[in-house]
Amino acid sequence: MNQTLNETLNPQLQSWVVSANAAGCDFPIQNLPFGRFRTQGDSGWRIGVAIGDQVLDLRKAGLTDHADMHRLMQATLQERQALRQALSEGLRMGSTRQSAWEPALLAQSAVELGLPCEVGDYTDFYVGIHHASEVGRQFRPDNPLLPNYKWVPIGYHGRASTLQASGSSFHRPMGQVKAPDAAQPVLAPCARLDIELELGIFIGQPNAQGVPVSIQDAEQHVFGITLFNDWSARDIQAWEYQPLGPFLSKNFASTVSPWMVTMEALEPFRQPFSRPEGDPDPLPYLDSVSNRTRGAIAVQMEVVLQTARMAREGHAGDVISRSSFAEAAYWTVAQLVTHHTVNGCALRAGDLLGSGTLSGPTLAQSGSLLELTTGGKNRITLSNGETRGFLEDGDTVVLRAYCEGAGARRIGFGECRGTVLPARTEG
């Protein structure tokens, strides 16, 4: 985890891709995130790297001889760093590779961006302690934060089959719901559809079954981080979640942003990781000097809500929440990987770990409508006068994130966008 800051992170570097040099650009030359794209007529996905408003086709640029993202993700740390160095050198202002690489560039607006890789398994964690506490107060007022929370990184196994790329839409889910005063449940469209502001952690190097990953080595198994919206049906969740946790309330759709921001790009934004005074220290296998000194990552996040009416009127939507990964998370990336494998579980290239909802300590930092509206009791008023308790059909939610700090170039994650369609009540 103790990677050193190298020349690829020099904030003075400029690219011959002019759009990458613009202030506020998500994808300057210091970022270089990986994803997959295709153009009309392509039979499969290609591997690309975002630079400014363009995407560089790695195969066309001669940086890889294949289009298998899993194969690239399984590279060793040294191989990944060598590829990053080659990308940085080739895209810099004055590079001798400019004329050879220009034909390998395509406008992001002209291609289809898909899931960053094929996802074989997906685990959703619950690292946001403020979210866990508030949800507990609403679902279990007598016992809001269960005693295991501060000892065990809580998670559940989700459905990789319903992960979808940013820009996709999905139908409001059907499910069993039961009103407090009803004698029995009914099958109905979800009435309390919600968002969850999360980060996604993509595994690169696998570990063999039966061989746990130590916390010292955990981040070498992480390829990159993305934005993740785990749509949630709160009324279905309230009825089904005991005793085994979420099921149909979570597995109908989850949206993933198209770019994996590498751990190397995030290095300048490391922070010390600590727990509130009085909380127990983690067990030794979840603790290390490096995790304490540099385990947190300062990622700033925001949620934008655009109603159907806003879209018709050309309104981009309102920012309804802002939060921070470092402030919200009770567990680090390294701790999640280590705990996931301590029992011998094998992680594979392309496996996705969701962080869980990343809410801060204040109401304005809520990562879900469940918290922001106190379970729908206090509807929020948008700038055009519309109100929301939970999501309505036609609503679009956009997650955005970025890192910035002194002595470093601002980098972004792109956007994670999804739209709610009406429920399918037949067929």
Burial of 118 (0-12, 13-18, 19+ CB in 10 A): middle
Q: Among positive and negative, which fits the CA dihedral 209, 215, 218, 224? A: positive
| Residue 239 identity | W
The answer, yes or no, to whether the previous bond of 243 is cis (omega within 30 of 0) is yes
Tell me the C-alpha distance between 186 and 207, whole Å: 44
Tell me the C-alpha distance between 184 and 203, whole Å: 43
Q: Among positive and negative, which fits the CA dihedral 284, 289, 292, 296? A: negative
Q: Which of 66, 70, 130, 131 is catalytic?
A: 131
Query: Is residue 35 within 8 Å of 50, Cβ to Cβ?
Result: yes
**How would you classify residue 46: left for phi > 0, otherwise alpha for psi between -120 and 50, otherwise beta?**
beta
Is 131 catalytic? The answer is yes
Q: Which amino acids are annotated catalytic?
A: 131
